[in-house]
Amino acid sequence: MTDRHPGFSTLAVHAGAQPDPTTGARATPIYQTTSFVFNDADHAASLFGLQAFGNIYTRIGNPTNAVLEERVAALEGGTAALAVASGHAAQVVVFQQLLMPGDEIIAARKLYGGSINQFTHAFKSFGWNVAWADPDDVASFERAVTPHTKAIFIESIANPSGSITDIEAIAAVARKAGVPLIVDNTLATPYLIRPIDHGADIVVHSLTKFLGGHGNSLGGIIVDAGTFDWSKDNKYPMLSEPRPEYHGIKLQETFGNFAFAIACRVLGLRDLGPALSPFNAFMILTGIETLPLRMQKHCENAKAVAEFLSGHPKVAAVNYAGLASDKYNNLARKYAPKGAGAVFTFSLKDGYDAGVNLVSNLKLFSHLANVGDTRSLVIHPASTTHSQLDDAAKVKSGAAPDVVRLSIGIEDKEDLIADLEQALTA
């Protein structure tokens, strides 16, 4: 008998979860505890020495969080995962394993504004440098490679522009340079795009968005694809060299193809401390159970709204890769055949002021700084999420002053269109 391959929706409900051994509880219990008792001194020493599987302290691991980790690893096709307090925390933890002062990453210019800030300012104070490349021009990544390059970072579907990145082409650049490709898959979710299938070595998420899906809990996650050989040269000493704090254990030698996730846990999370609350893990897990259903509805609604807007006389342009006329439609057909996501931008013929008016006239759409909620959301990126960028960088990142960003929810699409219609004509 060969192994069966359960489908995505089965994994979304079951992966990582099992009736509780003690109580038989079928839903994953919230293990709201800081610490876990040891069987004896020997057990404690084994756990601290990374010699046994088990729980010590919720900053390092928690059984509720572990279910979330295995579930997302299964959905992404990775070997292991580590859940943390936010998407931003995930990025810091990832890069702490890869970078020493003086090292560089190459990042796509089209990123969530918060990531651009984090890489530009916070990382600078760690001595980590970023070289920017254009995700629409693969050669620009190749040109940016230097002997100090340690990783390439892209978004699968870029925020706010909704453009689709050619993951395979950029993965080839990373492979040639001998560095891992890290993909932020937040806006696509593994339901629409599985970056590991296209050559990503590490996937990160803000779980706060579509995976949690209900706008009620922050979280982030790091998925290890198990594809990168960290010991090939001396570029990644955190994984290939003996760790003094763990009696000289070499992480890749000991943990094989999930060593990166372990490094993120036992070096990153342990020392930097951005642990995810088990309660948030529970909320996000509950959300993931309906991820396939929600993403279908999000995408269906987004396409209908984008079509409505592109036919509206007051709208100058709609950037939604799901539209046949869109610049990214071919990439969307290749990478996201089930739908091009539900976050996109459009601009109004009357510019910035019309955008501001539209936002204030909407009655169903909520004006706030999040995406991937059940509710439909609207924001003006240039004055909010991307406000700390200069004008040229705003345009390059897809957040020009006249651009409005929508995150389409799972309401009835007729009501969303009616709300936009009244706000545009008000």
| Cα gap 89→310, rounded to integer Å | 37
Q: By C-beta, is 112 or 282 nearer to another protein?
A: 282
| Cα gap 81→281, rounded to integer Å | 13
| Cα gap 4→158, rounded to integer Å | 34
Cite the beta strand spans of 267-340 per DSSP E: 315-319
Nearest to 336 by CA among 295, 373, 367, 280: 295
- Environment class of 218 (CB within 10 Å of its CB; exposed 0-12, middle 13-18, buried 19+): buried
Q: By C-beta, is 8 or 352 nearer to another protein?
A: 8
Q: By C-beta, is 53 or 234 nearer to another protein?
A: 53
Nearest-approach distance from CB 66 to another protein, in angstroms: 5
Q: Does 226 bind another protein (CB under 8 A)?
A: yes
Q: Does 225 bind another protein (CB under 8 A)?
A: yes
Going from the C-alpha of 213 to that of each of 189, 209, 290, 291, 295, the distances in angstroms are: 11, 5, 9, 8, 9
| Cα gap 258→308, rounded to integer Å | 46
Which of 105, 196, 309, 408 binds another protein (CB under 8 A)? It is 196
Give, to the nearest 10 degrees, the angle between helix 278-289 and helix 291-310: 70
Q: Does 18 bind another protein (CB under 8 A)?
A: yes
Please compute Rg for the chain using Cα positions. Answer: 22
- Contacts of residue 342, Cβ cutoff 8 Å, sequence gap at least 6: 210, 295, 298, 299, 301, 302, 372, 407, 408, 409
Inter-residue contact 214 to 282 (CB < 8 Å): no
| Cα gap 228→180, rounded to integer Å | 7
Which of 124, 143, 232, 327 binds another protein (CB under 8 A)? It is 232
Q: By C-beta, is 155 or 201 nearer to another protein?
A: 201
Q: Does 265 bind another protein (CB under 8 A)?
A: yes
148 token code pair = 């100090």
Nearest-approach distance from CB 149 to another protein, in angstroms: 18
Nearest-approach distance from CB 272 to another protein, in angstroms: 16
Q: Mask 21-60, x = binds another protein (CB under 8 A)?
A: xx-x--------------x------x--x-xxxxx-----
Q: By C-beta, is 249 or 393 nearer to another protein?
A: 249
Q: Which stretch binds another protein (CB under 8 A): 249-257, 321-329, 340-348, 400-408?
A: 249-257
Q: Which stretch binds another protein (CB under 8 A): 15-23, 116-124, 209-217, 333-341?
A: 15-23
Q: Does 233 bind another protein (CB under 8 A)?
A: no
Which of 134, 136, 229, 300 binds another protein (CB under 8 A)? It is 229
Contact footprint for another protein (CB under 8 A)? 1-6, 10-11, 14-16, 18-22, 24, 39, 46, 49, 51-55, 61, 63, 65-67, 69-70, 73-74, 77-83, 175, 196-197, 225-229, 232, 246-249, 253-258, 261-262, 265
